[in-house]
Structure 1
């Protein structure tokens, strides 16, 4: 019988917190992996108390499809349970500071002896080696240190950080990709387990590939250019008559020509200043002024309709209300409603879309300790009553009525 999802039968232990590590495990869980979420019995994952929300909204989507099994890894009994669960797993994701798990006797050398097929993902800000490896690393820090913030923002403004967990998300995608390569080598090439050293700094630095070769070959240190590009013109955001915004990109000659004809007719399209990309970049101020003047004469809806009619590249600058109301997002299930107790909650959908084994979301992030008894009794020799005793001792915690 064929599996409904591509990772059926793969067990992942997620012993990470916040975004980068848990997002890696979430991606695997979206495509069928059985994900065990290890978190602190008292505090849980930091995402349970993140931001100024009245409830754990971030936790609900980042930890969807997972089973919560709290373990206080400071305690010897908890580490023993952890070793036994990991010994029965395919993948372990962790983001403790380098050396922490080794101090607790549950590092790579120990766990790989227990489970030679284990793929261990070690997610840290700066990697397991190097001068910065002992530093605490968060997405914000590496977004700055990678060079990303330096090149982002308005020319006369400060370096600009993204308003989302961009570095963590990029890192998670790379980690999930690496897991699949490691599993493929293990399962189809006669290989065995291995550990993956994911440095969030390096994955974010990878976004700046063009900047690396430009600096080396041409001595160019990319400077902030707002919404413009050093390679393409026109490329910017423009305000419309109704105080909305649109973005355009004339990265190909045919698209640039269509844009020029829309906003200035044949005269503008045939103006020698704008006939080539080099010319458009040289005269970008004049070009942007012409486009902006035209935009101010039309509402955003009119602009979108005109550009679509001429097959010119343009996108409305959507806020979240726009996204929720967008028929394309709806048709692609980009936003899905997921059962959450007696209610449901909207969250981003599963992507990419596989034709034969698509991913799915079964439930939102679980109650802390909700699955402790089921998972521990399944993966170790302990009985349900022994797990309850561990909870009374603070080694784990149980969800729902079990805590009464």
Structure 2
């Protein structure tokens, strides 16, 4: 049976006050967010943080359809992906629920979804249907492999696409086989590419007055993010291998052991390599024939890395970092996450951004990685509970309290 949200009135008013303070360069846009799991929410977060009115469309709780995170709504992943949004519950399979959604579409700028390609057609909320209601709508679809083609119906998961898109073949050490990355790079990349695609469509709309259908797949995003490694095949027909921690072409670039850990060094260019050997107190390495040129260092990378490693083991990471900084050598420590956010430069940049959650109290989110001088991003609200804003949004559409109570009784919201 349908269940009420159980939201406290003071919480509702507090959220409304925070939403009323919505500012930013994208404040004029309204986005209907049908996305779930990671790629889609990553995309829409870019708009929510910069002021867009993002309405997260969810199934009513009684339908037992989750966003893909199960009971982890208060966990860091969900909270980090869905901040700054409002939540509206609608049963899109119910004709009344679909009508509510289509009413929202009339004044929306963007609809975003990452259903299986056929789902939107079965629900009657595909691009052509919504375009007939609002020709200015920008409709964004994220899929695993594309909206059509031989793999269109396959489920798309980040790990699978990392393999299919070539990344795992160039990641890790050849002795240990293919290696996935430690982050969801295909999901995140697809989300960010989709955000750029939506922005492009919105800019074009200012000229044409027309929306369009934006399509992004994890597979395309993954291949695009392989970038120079993919281009090596397309241009030269070279199949890149697994370089481990070495750079494929710039030597020495990689991870070197210290007395208490590891350090990253990037010194492939002639000038940088000279700075490196001077900072390490071994300028004679530059004069050795096998190391005197970039090609020579590439051909003799194993012996050079062995000699450098023997030297770096003699001092701590902090000692080497001081020497590298004084010598203007590109180098850095390899931080665990606690060390990342303790780093003075990271603190200075302020990417750990505070927000207050009604149950969890004061928490921090990963903020935006770019800034604007006049219209900064905002961390207004934590991720909403399911249906937090249903009543308020229905009132905006002209529904009375009696209407809302009936819709809830009938399981529409």
TM-score, reference length from structure 1: 0.92
Q: Distance in 2 between matches of 1:198 and 1:86?
A: 21
Structure 1 partner of 2:340 = 323
Structure 2 contact 280–323 (Cα < 8 Å) conserved: no
Displacement after TM superposition at 1:48 (Å): 4.1
Instruction: Specify which of 81, 89, 92 is matched with residue 70 of structure 1.
Output: 89
Structure 1 partner of 2:241 = 223
Structure 2 contact 265–331 (Cα < 8 Å) conserved: yes
Distance 1:57 1:266, change over 3 A: closer
Instruction: Specify which of 260, 281, 289 is matched with residue 277 of structure 2.
Output: 260
Structure 1 contact 232–281 (Cα < 8 Å) conserved: yes
Structure 2 partner of 1:239 = 257
Structure 2 contact 274–283 (Cα < 8 Å) conserved: no
Displacement after TM superposition at 1:281 (Å): 0.8
Structure 1 contact 263–290 (Cα < 8 Å) conserved: no
Deviation per CA, 1:195-249: give whole Å up to 9, x if none. 101111101110122223322343311111111122110011112101x221111
Structure 2 partner of 1:99 = 118
Displacement after TM superposition at 1:374 (Å): 0.9
Secondary structure of 1:38's match? strand
Q: Distance in 2 between matches of 1:345 and 1:10?
A: 27
Structure 1 contact 44–368 (Cα < 8 Å) conserved: no
Displacement after TM superposition at 1:266 (Å): 1.8
Q: How does 1:4-403 map to 2 (within 5 A)?
A: 4-42=23-61, 43=64, 45-49=66-70, 55-187=74-206, 189-242=207-260, 244-263=261-280, 265-341=282-358, 343-378=361-396, 380-396=397-413
Q: Distance in 2 between matches of 1:294 and 1:66?
A: 52
Structure 2 partner of 1:401 = none
Q: Distance in 2 between matches of 1:176 and 1:344?
A: 29
Secondary structure of 2:174's match? coil
Secondary structure of 1:69's match? strand
Distance 1:395 1:376, change over 3 A: same
Displacement after TM superposition at 1:192 (Å): 0.6
Displacement after TM superposition at 1:18 (Å): 0.6
Please list every run of at least 4 consecutive aligned residues from structure 1 whose deviation after the TM superposition is greater than 3 angstroms: none
TM-score, reference length from structure 2: 0.90
Structure 1 partner of 2:15 = none
Deviation per CA, 1:124-159: give whole Å up to 9, x if none. 111112211111112222111101111111111121
Structure 2 partner of 1:399 = none
Deviation per CA, 1:174-208: give whole Å up to 9, x if none. 11111111111112x13311110111110111012
Q: Distance in 1 between matches of 2:55 and 2:252?
A: 49
Displacement after TM superposition at 1:57 (Å): 2.3
Secondary structure of 1:46's match? coil
